[in-house]
Structure formats: structure tokens, C-alpha cells
């Protein structure tokens, strides 16, 4: 990526001061992204992916999902490098849409983020408890998580929240350790799967699957909802943009490297599992990795590695809440969200209210079913983050041509158009209920914004405030 980043162009000295500490380096940023991306996701969604896409052809669903994630990642890379601050998307939408709709878009993002980020973390807790069911009888059953499992899930959320109460330098080191555990767990399952691999079974695609109207195309939309859910997290370093060193270099690299790394791991894991577990058994399995390990090396090894998988899942929730808690912080500093979210812990320099609020919502979300949580989280995310950022990169290139861009998107606007098409397809492929609920949530957010705007006497009840926080007077602008 060095060809797209100008040497020495991190602009760190010119960035707005927030009170946060820039302590996260390239390795830690990539580890945070990959830890958040992997977690428990593929270990619990592989059966659903295979069932949705009708057979082993599901392996290609991960590749299509990776292409969409990579295209979207290049949108994040340019925006994150140019506008590196706490909250990521909040800043991008604030800077891009202030000219026409004032604070509406950033408000709607924060309004939605405090819902979809914890919901994504809730899915990690649900999957974690499913794997605990392999170790502890009575935690999970054929119908899902038991009441005991739900109590354990809430306790785990509380422990994660407590672990987040530390300085960002300590958190970076802790996340790197969790990343190593995650990587060891995934690679162990991959090796176990390939130790008794049946190529004919893994590549025994359903007859006619790739033809017109075949199983692959019929299940691709719903499969991509699952796949993109498993890839989410490559943007966590951008959420932490206010705490990243040399963000112009670190954020783009951490995003691209994490997507490519996780794509490789997911594909190997999917192919290995397909070749080691009979298809019909796989479609209904609740702890795929544990089953693979037990078949290969016995129950003792399976239980040990399952503990690692549970720890990796905890790491994913930890990384997700770490990044997500910074979103309402930046909005509250701009007086676009509740003032309590703007306060930093007096000793730890971390946004206390953001961590606690998202922890509570995560705990509540963990009480629902995995499928419902995934669909609800993805649909809300697409409509107010992914599509809005595609528009933001276009608007900023036109409105702020003088904005310093340490990284400029490769082959622009091709990746942006691919991301746009992919997100629209994923959105319309979600369940009807999830789509309706996402629209209802946004409309409710518009009402909440109008109440806020009337109280603050800002647009549409007052003047728009144009403040290009990342453009210096010497660089100029075109508003």
C-alpha cells in the first residue's frame, strides 16, 4: 500500500485534540480488526451458510463477501486516513453532509450505531454460549441457548465491560494477546479438518448449483448477509482513529491486511469443515469446530481448543465494544448526542458512558436468537453507514478537494461502485421484518433529530454550521 501513501503524510500534528491518547500502532490496529472480525462468527455461521446456499458451493459465498468487504474497506481506508478521529463514520458523515442537511446524517448514524454495534456484539455472546454448551451441560440445547446460558452470557458482557476500563496502551497489548489466541484456535481447527479431509465431499457441489436459478444463486443473497456479518470489524481501527498513531498510514493498512487475512482463514476453514463433516450433519451442527476437533484428535483436545474459541469470542466482543464506544463520544463533544457521552474517565482517558451503554445493550441483545440479531444488525448498518459512506467519499472529493488524503482509493471510483452494488443487494436480501424495522428505526431517528434541532435551533430550525475541521486554511476548499 506504500505506493498510495505519501511518506511522512500522517497529519497527526494538525489533528483536532480530543483528550484521547494516540497509542495504537500498525500491528495492534490490525490485531484489533482481525480479533473483532473473527471471534465466534465463522464457527457458528458455517452451518447456516451451507444450508442457505444448498451445499458445498457455500465456500464461494465467502469469496463474494470478501470482495464486497474489500471494496468497502477501500472506502473506509480513504475516509479514515483523511479524517482520523474517534467515531469513524460519525466524522465522515458530519464532514460530508453538513453543507445540505446540517447535522442530520451524523445524528442518524449515532442514533443507529448505539443499536447495531451492540447487536453485532450480542451475536458474539450468543455464539460463545453455544460453544460453552460443548463444555458445560445445560448451557445450550437443540433449540438454542438455555436460560442458564443467557445468564452466563450477561455475566460475560459484564466482565468484558470491566476489562475495557483501562488505558488504551494496555488495551492494545491485551487485544494483541487475544488476537494470537484467536489465530491459534482457527489454525488448529483448520489443521484438524484437513487431517481427515475428503476432497470429494468438500467439492461435491450440488448438481446445477451454478446454473440459472441454481442453488448457489438462489441462496447468494441470504448467504451474503451471513458472510458480510462475519467480515464486519475491519473498520474498528477507523472507529479508534483518535487513538491511532500515524493514522494516514496505519488505518488503510490495518483495514486491507485484516480483510485479506481473515478471507484466507475463512475460506480454509469452510473448505476444511466441508471435507470433514458429512453435509447433512453439518447443516444442523451447533458447535462445528468442536465436532471437527473431536473427530480428528479426541474429546480432550476438542475441549481445550474450544476454550480457546470461547476466549477468541470474548476478544471479538472486547474489540467491538472498544471501537463502538468511541462513536457517541465524538458526537457528544459536538453537542449532537447526550452530553454525558462526551466525558472521559479522569484517570484512564476512555469514554465511560459509551462503554457502559453499549455493554447494557449488548447484554439485552444476547437474550434473543442469533439469526434475528444478525439480520437486525446488518440491515440497520447498511442503510445508515455503508450506503451513506459511499455517498460521503464522493461528496468530500467534490466539496473538500484541498483535504489532505494520505491514502487515495485505488482505481477510484470502481471499488466504491462495487461496494454500493454489494450493499444494496445485501440489504434487499435480508428478511422483510428486518428491513421494515430498519426503516422504522431511521424514521424514528428523524423524529428524534427534529426534536433535537428545534431545541438547539439548528438546521432546519436555524442556520447550518459549516466547519471543515480537517481542512487547514492554506489548503483551501470549495463549499
H or E stretch at 253: helix 247-274
Pairing state between β 140-141 and 144-145: antiparallel
Looking at the predicted structure, is the pLDDT value of residue 83 above 80? yes
- Bridge partners of 5? 407
Percentage of the chain modeled with pLDDT above 70: 94
The CA distance from 331 to 339, in Å, is: 9
**Span 370-383, average pLDDT:** 82
Are 263 and 30 in contact, with CB atoms under 8 Å apart?
no
pLDDT, residue 418, reads 97
Are 195 and 47 in contact, with CB atoms under 8 Å apart?
no
pLDDT in tens, 45-82: 888 899 899 889 999 999 999 999 999 999 999 999 99
pLDDT, residue 416, reads 97
pTM here is 0.86
Q: Which domains does the chain have, with CATH numbers?
A: 29-456 (1.20.1740.10)
Terminal CA-CA length for the chain: 31
Are 31 and 101 in contact, with CB atoms under 8 Å apart?
no
Length of the chain: 479
Residue with the three cell numbers 480530543: 18
Band (pLDDT 50/70/90 cuts) for residue 2 is very low
**Span 339-356, average pLDDT:** 88
pLDDT, residue 7, reads 34
pLDDT in tens, 131-144: 888 888 888 766 66
pLDDT in tens, 94-114: 999 999 999 999 999 999 988
Per-range mean pLDDT, top range of 49-53, 89-93, 167-171: 89-93
pLDDT, residue 13, reads 38
**Span 153-168, average pLDDT:** 90
Cell digits for 341? 457521552
Are 255 and 73 in contact, with CB atoms under 8 Å apart?
yes
pLDDT in tens, 260-290: 999 999 999 999 999 999 988 887 777 899 9
How far is C-alpha 146 from the chain's CA centre?
27
Looking at the predicted structure, is the pLDDT value of residue 450 above 80? yes
Mean pLDDT computed over every residue of the chain: 87
pLDDT, residue 44, reads 83
pLDDT, residue 9, reads 40
The CA distance from 284 to 362, in Å, is: 26
The CA distance from 253 to 250, in Å, is: 5
Band (pLDDT 50/70/90 cuts) for residue 325 is confident
Amino acid at each position: 500500500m506504500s505506493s498510495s501513501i505519501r511518506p511522512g503524510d500522517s497529519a497527526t500534528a494538525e489533528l483536532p485534540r480530543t483528550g484521547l491518547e494516540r497509542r495504537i500502532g500498525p500491528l495492534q490496529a490490525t490485531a484489533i480488526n482481525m480479533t473483532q472480525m473473527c471471534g465466534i462468527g465463522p464457527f457458528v455461521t458455517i452451518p447456516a451458510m451451507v444450508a442457505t446456499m444448498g451445499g458445498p458451493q457455500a465456500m464461494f459465498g465467502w469469496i463474494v463477501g470478501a470482495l464486497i468487504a474489500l471494496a468497502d474497506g477501500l472506502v473506509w481506508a480513504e475516509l479514515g486516513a483523511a479524517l482520523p478521529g474517534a467515531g469513524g463514520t460519525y466524522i465522515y458523515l458530519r464532514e460530508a453532509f453538513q453543507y445540505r442537511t446540517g447535522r442530520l446524517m451524523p445524528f442518524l448514524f449515532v442514533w443507529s450505531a448505539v443499536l447495531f454495534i451492540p447487536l453485532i456484539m450480542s451475536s458474539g455472546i450468543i455464539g460463545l454460549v453455544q460453544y460453552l454448551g460443548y463444555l458445560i451441560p445445560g448451557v445450550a440445547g437443540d433449540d438454542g441457548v438455555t436460560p442458564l446460558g443467557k445468564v452466563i452470557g450477561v455475566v460475560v458482557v459484564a466482565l468484558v465491560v470491566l476489562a475495557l476500563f483501562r488505558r488504551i496502551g494496555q488495551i492494545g497489548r491485551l487485544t494483541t494477546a487475544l488476537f494470537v489466541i484467536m489465530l491459534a484456535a482457527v489454525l488448529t481447527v483448520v489443521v484438524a479438518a484437513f487431517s481427515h479431509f475428503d476432497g470429494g465431499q468438500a467439492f461435491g457441489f450440488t448438481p446445477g448449483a451454478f446454473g440459472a436459478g441454481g442453488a448457489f444463486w438462489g441462496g447468494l443473497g441470504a448467504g451474503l448477509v451471513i458472510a458480510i456479518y462475519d467480515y464486519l470489524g475491519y473498520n474498528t481501527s477507523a472507529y479508534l482513529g483518535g487513538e491511532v498513531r500515524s493514522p494516514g498510514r496505519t488505518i488503510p493498512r490495518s483495514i486491507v491486511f485484516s480483510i485479506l487475512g481473515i478471507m484466507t482463514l475463512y475460506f480454509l476453514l469452510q473448505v476444511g469443515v466441508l471435507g470433514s463433516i458429512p453435509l447433512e450433519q453439518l447443516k444442523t451442527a451447533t458447535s462445528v469446530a468442536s465436532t471437527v476437533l473431536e473427530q480428528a484428535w479426541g474429546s480432550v483436545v476438542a475441549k481445550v481448543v474450544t476454550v480457546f474459541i470461547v476466549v477468541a469470542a470474548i476478544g471479538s466482543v472486547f474489540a467491538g465494544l472498544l471501537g463502538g464506544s468511541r462513536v457517541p463520544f465524538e458526537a457528544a463533544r459536538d453537542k449532537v448526542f447526550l452530553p454525558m457521552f462526551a466525558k472521559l474517565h479522569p484517570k484512564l482517558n476512555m469514554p465511560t458512558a459509551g462503554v457502559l451503554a453499549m455493554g447494557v445493550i449488548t447484554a439485552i441483545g444476547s437474550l434473543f436468537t442469533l439469526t434475528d440479531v444478525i439480520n437486525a444488525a446488518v440491515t440497520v448498518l447498511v442503510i445508515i453507514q455503508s450506503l451513506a459512506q459511499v455517498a460521503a467519499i464522493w461528496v468530500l472529493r467534490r466539496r473538500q478537494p484541498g483535504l489532505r488524503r494520505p491514502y487515495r482509493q485505488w482505481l477510484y471510483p470502481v471499488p466504491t461502485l462495487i461496494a454500493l452494488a454489494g450493499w444494496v443487494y445485501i440489504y434487499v436480501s435480508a428478511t422483510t421484518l428486518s428491513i421494515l424495522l430498519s426503516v422504522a428505526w431511521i424514521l424514528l431517528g428523524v423524529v428524534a433529530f427534529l426534536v433535537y434541532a428545534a431545541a438547539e435551533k439548528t438546521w432546519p430550525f436555524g442556520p447550518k454550521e459549516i466547519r471543515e475541521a480537517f481542512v487547514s486554511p492554506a489548503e483551501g476548499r470549495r463549499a
